[in-house]
Amino acid sequence: MKKGFTLVEVLAVIIVLGILAGIIFPVIESGISNNSKKALSIEKNNVIKATKDWSLKNIDKLPENDGITKVKLSELKQGFIPLNIKNPQTGRLLSNETYVLIKEISGDYEYEVYFYDIPDNVSPNDIINFDGNFLTEEVSLNSTIPEYDISVVDEFGNELSYSKQYILNDNEVSHIDTSSKNIYSIVYTVLYNDKIYKAVKTIIIK
């Protein structure tokens, strides 16, 4: 009775598995990549649809004579699109600095979507200066909390607009609810030179 495999047989199996892996893995990776691209395209189309709905309510803000109008995601979240939007390719929450450009061309409108994820790390203050109290703050249950607004300037001292988002368990919410114990992050983001800068304040409800 034959016991075990010979070295030649083992090597043959290894070679066959290697060949199969070389064929299968690229197919799987390609499928994942295609699905990710499709999901991204669907999400961008959702944003464009929301922008068109926004346009119907804001006709006076639409561009004219080959002009351009920029609509931030924060504006679309005022009843035109859900709060909690993530980039399908990265799984990360989108910054409210994400925007859509509406271009007027010969009486028609074109839409271009620019996605910006909320970055992992807090930004250093050498380029963008976030001026505010970013120390972790403990808040009592059922208490009233302030708006926690800040100011932001660039490296030349020019004031910049910013977006503010309330994050709970990696999901965006509309406000900080002090009726139950939780830990919230207030995320401030600025789009500057096509890059997102971020500051965070943590609020502990206890």
Q: Using one digit for the tens of pLDDT, what is the confidence trace for 5-17?
A: 677 777 777 888 8
Please list, residue by residue across 47-70, b when 16 or more beta carbons sit within 10 angstroms of its beta carbon and e when fewer do.
bbebbeebbeeeeeeeeeeeeebe
Q: How far apart are CA 148 and CA 152, in angstroms?
A: 13
Tokens 């561009």 sit at which residue?
A: 63
Query: Residue 27's pLDDT is what?
Result: 55
Region of poorest pLDDT, from 26-35, 66-75, 100-109, 194-203 = 26-35
In this predicted structure, the answer to whether residue 32 has a pLDDT above a threshold of 80 is no
Walk me through the domains of the chain, giving residue ranges and CATH numbers.
11-114 (no CATH), 129-205 (2.60.40.10)
In this predicted structure, the answer to whether residue 138 has a pLDDT above a threshold of 90 is yes
In this predicted structure, the answer to whether residue 1 has a pLDDT above a threshold of 60 is no
In this predicted structure, the answer to whether residue 25 has a pLDDT above a threshold of 70 is no
